[in-house]
Each structure stands twice: as structure tokens, then as C-alpha cells.
Chain A
């Protein structure tokens, strides 16, 4: 079929001619295809590479999750859903699911709270606002591995944080932050927050800047205080930015890998292990290839649910 055959019927279709040719952009929505001859085969390279690199391997992953394949030998057995039962029975996997939930929720809450405060701060009339925006966002473009290595030192027993605490007489607070099973996970969350709070900030900032100034003037004439103004005006108008931020950080937290592997390798014990780190270790260190793909499918389910919630919330927000 030629692209002409694909494109022409659109223009000839009865009922479509009611839309004026030079109407405003909005009314064109249904008319697309009329004056364009976008060749369908332009799609092929993208389709081919996406299918080969993402779709087929993902299906193969789903297939291997039903086997006991070790990733190397030519033979493997079907084990049905055993790998999935094992995910929910295995205490290491269970711990990593809990940890992953902690990472995701912890990062989501703290990063966006700080990001919002930073955004409100740099959206004011302060003279240093442009400098501060550039500074706060800078860590977000840096390699996560580099940030993790830097903080690994800062949080080590002889590291900068403990040195600073001792210097101000808070010796009793000094400790092995990443070697403590209770503190290691919150410590990793803090590092991620330090790196990406500026990312949340720029998304909130874009939202804040789209709020017309006169709404605030009217509110201040009415004598509303700054908290009341924030709660009644800023908060509802920031809802779309909030949705994007919450979901981006949630999904980022669910997928957390680099920071954990660098700072703690999942330890002490399995206190900081995430779904991604155990899936990686099971596949490449323990030759549990089938089991590893089952773990990644569980992760995929979490990420897909989070993404679908995001789409739904955003769409609902746009309708209003």
C-alpha cells in the first residue's frame, strides 16, 4: 500500500469536509491527515529497533520467569509459577520488596517537600534567585554513581559528616551511617533527595510561574496571610506539577539501583537491598536467571501501576 492510498481517503471521507480548511488549530484535531502526506514507512526504523531491543527481550524475560534457567546452559526446565511463589516466600526477596517500598515512598515524600520549599524560596523577589536555581538543580544532571561515591565517603566512619559533628561537639551523634542496619536505608534516601530535590524544584517552579500574578494581588487586597494564600491559591493551582513530581520520584525510587550498589552493595546484611539490586545479583552472581526475571516482572508490575496512576491523574487534571 502506498502512502498516498493511506492518506487520501481521509480527505475524501464524507462528513470531514464540514471542518473549514483554515479553521483555528483546535478544530483541526479530527482533520489531521488532510494536508499532510506523512509516509507510514517513516515508522519502520523506530518500530524495528524498539521491538528488537525492548519488546522481544521483555517477552523472553516473561518466558524465562517460568523456568529455572541459569542463563548459560542450553537446557532448562519449566517450573510454572514457582519463581513467583518463591519471590513472596523468600525472606530476602520479601525484605527487598519492603525496602523498595520504603525507598519509593520516602524519596517521594521528602524530595517533594524540600523541592517545594526550594521552589517557593527561589520564586520570590530575592536577588540571588537565578543563581540559586542553577545551583540547586546542578546535582540532578550529575552521574548518580559520582554522587553516591562522594556521599559514601561523607557518611563513612571517618568521613566528613562525623568530622563535622565532632567539630561542633556532637560526638555522640557520630557513627557508621551506612554500616548501621537502621540508618543505612534512610541515609541512601537522603543522598537521592540531595541529588534530586532540585529536579522537583524546577517542576514546581514551572508550575508556580504559570500562576498569574494578579490572583495573588487580589488575595493580598483581601488581607489573606501568606500561609492562607499558599493553601487556598498556590496549592490547588500546583496540582499538575505535584502529580508529575510525585509520580516521577515514586517511579525513580522503585527503580533505585546505582546508589544502593555503590554505597552499601545492599548491606549491611540485606538492609538496603532493592528489587533491582537483588535481581541483578541473582542473574549475574548467582546464575538464578529465571528467578531474577520473575523479580524484574514484580518490579515491572509496581512501575506500571504507578505510571498508570500518573496518566489517569494527569488526564483528570486536564479535564478540569
Chain B
């Protein structure tokens, strides 16, 4: 068994030093954001912290509306991803006919394609449909592009899930629709957790899709609001950093509340 020896003590000190070095950029971030005025070269802790930068960033960066858009886009996209990919995975995992295998391979093919390939041509279609600048356009894109990965996770999970429960429920006369949503779906809770976590982080953080599909429309997500903000406040790092902090706070709260499941989701998600 692992005992706490002298060697462990040395390792502990080394690891804490590494951690401090690793966290140094976060110190720079906080320290600069709390400094009023433009002087940013000193590394010394700020003498009289002020929240002026946060007020400027919130008001002139339009972070409030952007935050609401981000929340709406993320919640609606992740909800639809879960519902649509979980139900698609059900026949894909349970029906062993050739068409089912082919359909699964068709979805898996999507894992090989970088988003860029579809996103540039899709832009012209969305432009013709006047979906540029609409957050619902983004939701549709996220749902479509996150399908392969989410279906893959659900199918892998379902294949290892015994049939006993659904067999019993079917014998009790449940319709396939009810059997799935009332018996099978609740049993898939662990993998639903992983799907929710991985997709929430991907969708919330995405920069490329809204850069293309929202540009010039006045509708922003957090990454786009920060991007245009940094363009206006060139080199005013205090204000920019305040905007960065505001932008990542919701995600960091999500992370620290659920750190155990999030780390597990990332560590195991890809092995399925």
C-alpha cells in the first residue's frame, strides 16, 4: 500500500511548486483585472483593488445579453442532443440488421470530419435561409454536428446494458415509446451525464461557429462579445481581463460544482 514516506514529502513540495507556477497566469489575470487605470506592467499585488474594470466590461462589452444567449444556446442544444441522440442510439444498439450497422457506420463517419468542412459550405445555405445572426441557427448546427459523438457514447453504453428490464416492461404491455423513455432512458443516466458534460463545455466554449454565423449581426455569444471587445479596447488589459473573468465564471462554477463527474466524463468518455 502507499505510505507517506520522506520521498512522498519531497514529491508533495515539488508538486505544490509546480502547481504555483502553473497557476501563475491566473494570478496575473486577477491582479490585472483588479487594477484601475492603464498601468499593467507591475507584477506586485494590486494595492487598492477596484471593480471598475468589471463594470466597464459588463456595460460596454454587452456581456449581459451575450451571457443570456450563451445560456439559451447551450441549454437548448444540449437538451436536444440528449433527446435525439439517445433515441437514435436505441435502435442502433438493439437492432442487429445490416441497415442498422450501416446507419451506425454512417454516423461514425462524422467523427472523421472536422467541423470546418461542413461549416463553410453550410454558411451559404444559412445565408440564403436568412439564418445568419440567429441563435436558433447555431442550435441546429450544434445538434447536427454533435450527433456522431453523442450517438457513439450512447450506443457503446446501451450495448453493455442488459435487456432484462426492457423485456419485462415489454411483456407488461408497455409501448416501445414508453419502454424507452420510462425504462431504458433512466438506466442510461451515467452516460447521459457524460454526454451533457462534454457537450455543455464544447457548445459553451465554441468560437468558430458563432464567428461565422453571428458575425456582424449584433447578436453575440460570450466568446464573440469578448472577441469584438478586445478589438475595441486594444491593450486595455485590465478591462479585457475583467471581461475574460466574467466570461468564464459560469463555466468555472459548473466545473467546481461537478468536478468529480466532469473529470470522470473527460477521462472515460472517449473510451465509451
Binding site for B on A (CB under 8 A): 3, 6-7, 10, 25, 28, 30, 32-40, 42-43, 45-47, 49-50, 52-55, 57-58, 60-61, 64, 71, 118, 121-122, 124-128, 132-138, 140-146, 149-151, 153-154, 158, 160, 163-164, 167, 194, 199, 202-203, 205-206, 213, 217, 240, 244, 248, 254-255, 257-258, 262, 276, 279-280, 283-284, 289, 292-293, 296-297, 299-300, 303-304, 307-308
- A124 x B43 contact (CB < 8 A): no
- A45 x B87 contact (CB < 8 A): yes
- B204 x A289 contact (CB < 8 A): no
- B112 x A143 contact (CB < 8 A): no
Question: Is the CB of B58 closer than 8 A to any CB of chain A?
Answer: no
- A304 x B176 contact (CB < 8 A): no
User: Could you tell me which residues of chain B, from 1 to 48, have a CB within 8 Å of some CB in chain A?
Assistant: 1-5, 8, 11-12, 14-16, 18-19, 22-23, 25, 28-29, 32, 40-43
Instruction: Give the distance to chain B from A270, nearest Cβ to Cβ, in Å.
Output: 18
- A53 x B18 contact (CB < 8 A): no
**A136-B42 Cα distance, complex, nearest whole Å:** 26
Q: A245 — nearest CB in chain B belongs to which residue?
A: B270
**A168-B43 Cα distance, complex, nearest whole Å:** 12
- A50 x B110 contact (CB < 8 A): yes
* Most central of B95, B103, B110, B268 by chain A CB within 10 Å: B95
Interface range, B side: 35 or more
Q: Which of B19, B140, B226 contacts A145 (CB 8 A)?
A: B226
Question: Is the CB of B144 closer than 8 A to any CB of chain A?
Answer: yes
A-B contacts at CB below 8 angstroms, number: 285
Question: Is the CB of B262 closer than 8 A to any CB of chain A?
Answer: yes
**A25-B226 Cα distance, complex, nearest whole Å:** 51
Binding site for A on B (CB under 8 A): 1-5, 8, 11-12, 14-16, 18-19, 22-23, 25, 28-29, 32, 40-43, 84-85, 87-88, 90-97, 100, 103, 107, 110-125, 140-141, 143-145, 147-148, 151, 159-160, 162-164, 166-167, 170, 176-177, 179-180, 201, 204-205, 207-208, 212, 222-223, 226-227, 230, 237, 240-241, 244, 247-248, 251-252, 254-256, 259, 262-264, 266-268, 270-271
**What residues of chain B lie closer than 8 Å to A217, measured between beta carbons?**
1
- A194 x B22 contact (CB < 8 A): yes
**What residues of chain A lie closer than 8 Å to B28, measured between beta carbons?**
150, 153-154, 160
| Interface residues of A, dominant DSSP | helix
Q: Which of B4, B15, B247 contacts A146 (CB 8 A)?
A: B247
- A50 x B230 contact (CB < 8 A): no
User: Could you name 28 residue pairs across A and B whose Cβ atoms are closer than 8 Å?
Assistant: A37-B176, A46-B107, A46-B147, A49-B84, A49-B140, A49-B143, A52-B144, A54-B110, A57-B119, A61-B118, A126-B15, A133-B263, A134-B259, A138-B252, A138-B255, A141-B201, A141-B252, A143-B223, A145-B227, A149-B240, A149-B244, A151-B25, A203-B266, A206-B267, A280-B120, A303-B114, A304-B112, A304-B113
Instruction: Give the distance to chain B from A46, nearest Cβ to Cβ, in Å.
Output: 3
- B226 x A61 contact (CB < 8 A): no
Q: Which of B40, B103, B247, B270 contacts A47 (CB 8 A)?
A: B103
